[in-house]
Amino acid sequence: MSLTLAPADWLSLLLHFMGLSLLAVGGAISVVPGMHRYLVLQQGWLTDSQFTSSVALAQIAPGPNVLFVVLMGWNVGVNAGGTHWALLGALLCLLGIVLPSSILTLFATRWAQRNQKHRGVRAFKQGMTPLVVALLISTAWLLITPSISSQTSWTFWLLGIVALLVLWRTRVHLLWVLAAGAVLGATGLV
Amino acid sequence: MNKTHTMEAPVLARPTSLLDLFWSFSLLALQGFGGVMAITQRELVERKRWLSREGFLEDWAVAQILPGPNVVNLAVMLGDRYMGTKGALVSVAGLFVFPFLIVVALAIGFASVSHLPQVQGAMRGMGLVVAALIATTALKLIPALRTHPGGQVFCVLAGVATFVCIVVFQWALIWVLLLVGGLSCLWTYHRLQPMKTAQEPTP
């Protein structure tokens, strides 16, 4: 795919991601459908498979989940004809998704910090904590559902339980456990 | 009940400089595969002891309810708390500088191998480990709910309701946060006694 993007298009890309930033309640992953509509359906700057691989590849790179927007911007730039455009796209998408919400967070939490003895502020902060724990468990569940089918071998569940116990009860570094998972997955054992 | 575990106890450590903030968040980001939340708990609570478990849960809840990437919001909050706007900037930069370079390098290299079944299998295995890590984080945070003002039964109910709404009903997160979270906050508000004035504020 090759495109020509005018400066106004790059600006539009930035502004669109800035808007999504303020809608991303619950994290950047919750506005992925919005990005898909904009980049793939509306503008035609990415193919469907480029979009999907942008999200998937970011999962195996270290760093915040939101890095998948870097790959979206990168691929838009690649389609527009070169590495320098790719870098521009990557930076614009990252800045767009990070900047507005960060500024909001800065001021909102300063306000909350000043009013932290206020019963409403404490009720809000503590009231959300059971949900945070439940959302973690939900996320873990949602992450493994694509891998679960009638053909899922017992070794898959065994690895899951062993990984859980190792990470919960020992101080073994995460990278070793990840490496073990990668090797077992690559050799087709799980 | 009115013991304020929400306040930072003096035993907690804190970052010593802007550089310390930058490297701490860089290190944390570089260890975070498939998201940084779980590793954040491990690094900031267990290793660096900048936060207590209770404090982490509360800060994380706030980072999550505000729009934007959660771990970025947390970096903004902590950076600002310790060293103001500069601290917030440096923390966020720490999160992104190295992962940005790595993910771009990966994009360049991955294009040629992504079709291999071994690569797809490796990604599946790593995904499972990431899921286990996230579940572990939840397990470690559960004890912090014992002192929750709403009571333990309430915490279990709110947690189960959240899981069911997300996983079974597949509601958009915002509705879960508004409905279950809203009810949860109201109940917590009801159970919190108005705070006696002699609390020392955090710095």
So where are chain A's domains? Answer: 7-114, 152-190
What is the value of ipTM here, to two decimals?
A: 0.73
Nearest CA in chain B to A68: B103
- Model-level pTM? 0.70
- What span, in angstroms and rounded, lies between the C-alpha atoms of B176 and A135? 10
Q: How many C-beta neighbours within 10 Å does residue B203 have?
A: 8
- What span, in angstroms and rounded, lies between the C-alpha atoms of A118 and A74? 45
Question: What dihedral do alpha carbons B116, B121, B126, B127 form, nearest 10°?
Answer: 100
pLDDT digits (tens, 9 = 90+) for A101-118: 999 999 998 988 888 778
Å between B134 CA and nearest CA of chain A? 6
pLDDT of residue B198: 43
Among residues 144-183 of chain B, which lie with CB inside 8 Å of chain A?
A: 144-145, 148-150, 154-156, 158-163, 166-167, 172-174, 176-177, 180-181
pLDDT of residue B35: 60
**Which position has the higher pLDDT, B76 or A64?**
B76
Angle between the N-to-C axes of helices A68-79 and A7-23, in degrees from 0 to 180, rounded to the nearest 10: 160
pLDDT of residue B2: 44
pLDDT of residue B189: 93
pLDDT of residue A81: 85
pLDDT digits (tens, 9 = 90+) for B135-170: 888 898 899 899 899 999 999 999 999 999 988 887
Is the Cβ pair B88, A110 closer than 8 Å? Answer: no
How would residue A127 be classed by pLDDT, with cut points 50, 70 and 90?
Answer: confident
Is the Cβ pair B126, A187 closer than 8 Å? Answer: no
- What span, in angstroms and rounded, lies between the C-alpha atoms of B129 and B125? 7
Is the Cβ pair B132, A167 closer than 8 Å? Answer: yes
pLDDT digits (tens, 9 = 90+) for A131-158: 888 887 887 787 677 677 777 788 889 9
Å between A117 CA and nearest CA of chain B? 7
pLDDT digits (tens, 9 = 90+) for B171-197: 766 788 789 989 999 999 999 876 544
Q: Provide the β-strand partners of residue B33.
A: A62
Separation of first and last alpha carbons in chain A: 36
Total CB pairs under 8 A between chain A and B: 363
Q: Which of B33, B55, B34, B35 is nearest to B44 (CA)?
A: B55
